Structure 1
Amino acid sequence: MLKIAVTGSPGIGKSTVVAKAAEKLANQPGFKIGGIQTAEIRKEGRREGFSIMDLATGKTGVLGSIRGSGPRVGKYHVNLEDLEKIGANALRSALECDLIVIDEVGPMELKSEAFVSAVEAVLESNKPVLAVLHRSSSHHLVQRMRKEFEVLMVNEKNRDELPEIIFARLRYKN
């Protein structure tokens, strides 16, 4: 089954590429997408954290914040409760969908064993996957995904056309 991952520098548009491709696929009749999407939380122009959303239900929580008490990644505290209740559960539920989106497999998400386990269950499934991978993680799960996925590097030159390329590949493989 087709498994595509995008990677690249911070802020280059990896999540945007995945979101645009997934949105185009979601507009196909009878095509169901599950998984997670992350986004920045900004206040007064400053990034204060990241949200996490279950794509199937729309349920949203906080993945990481400058305030909190969870494990630290840089200046952010990872909210393990939302990561597991929303993120890991969304991935397990997505096994019933036509495409599983994982935005992202990075340092914050990898702080949760439940999340890692949910991603491993997705990888063991026979479902197509579209994921965002942290560009330099040496975590065993990220290394596995680099071997098993077609990995596309997002850059300023290709980020506008990648959603259409990914859409076409996933649409014709299902």
Structure 2
Amino acid sequence: MLRIAITGSPGIGKSTVVAKAAEKLADKPGFKIGGIRTAEIRKEGQREGFSIRDLATGKTGVLSSVRGSGQRVGKYHVNLEELEKIGANALRNALDCDLIVIDEVGPMELKSEAFVSAVEKVLESDKPVLAVLHRSSSHQLAQRMRKEFEVLMVNEENRDELPEKIANCFREM
């Protein structure tokens, strides 16, 4: 089973690499992709937070925001309710898919026990996984993924060719 994790500096394009690779695979007839994708929420050029989207259903919510009352990670308040309702559920439901995308296993997502449990269930399955992994997390789940996955570092030199390289790896499985 193929498992690839993308890591790198903040803002380098990790989520973009994963999204582009998944888009290339979505063209494969009968190939079903499940899991989650996060994206920046911007207002007037400033990052206000992050959204989370279930890739199978399209359901979207707010993962974190500069305004809110949830646990803090940096300047953001994590919305545990939507992380669990959308993120953890999307990962559990993705066990029926051909590829599971997890964007991202990072400090915000690791605040949720339900999310951690859902990722662990994915790791216990025999499903191929494409994930974004926070570059310096010491959480035991992140450490486990570093050991079990092929970890690719994204940088300015390779970020444009990585999506095709990754998609080809999953096409060949």
Q: TM (normalized to structure 1)?
A: 0.99
Give the alignment of 1:129-168 within 5 angstroms: 129-168=129-168
Runs of 4+ with >6 A deviation: none
> 2 CA distance for matches of 1:28 and 1:164?
14
Partner residue of 2:70? 70
Partner residue of 1:86? 86
Which amino acid in structure 2 is aligned with residue 74 of structure 1? G
Partner residue of 2:58? 58
CA RMSD of aligned residues (A): 0.3
Residue 135 of structure 2 aligns to a residue whose secondary structure is coil
> 1 CA distance for matches of 2:26 and 2:92?
19
Give the alignment of 1:20-59 within 5 angstroms: 20-59=20-59
Tell me the CA shift for residue 27 of structure 1.
Answer: 1.1
Which amino acid in structure 2 is aligned with residue 147 of structure 1? K
Aligned length: 173
Which amino acid in structure 1 is aligned with residue 30 of structure 2? G
Which amino acid in structure 1 is aligned with residue 87 of structure 2? G
Tell me the CA shift for residue 2 of structure 1.
Answer: 0.4
Tell me the CA shift for residue 100 of structure 1.
Answer: 0.1
Residues 49-98 of structure 1 deviation map (CA, whole Å, 9 limit, x = unaligned)? 00000000000000000011110000000000000000000000000000
Which amino acid in structure 2 is aligned with residue 52 of structure 1? I
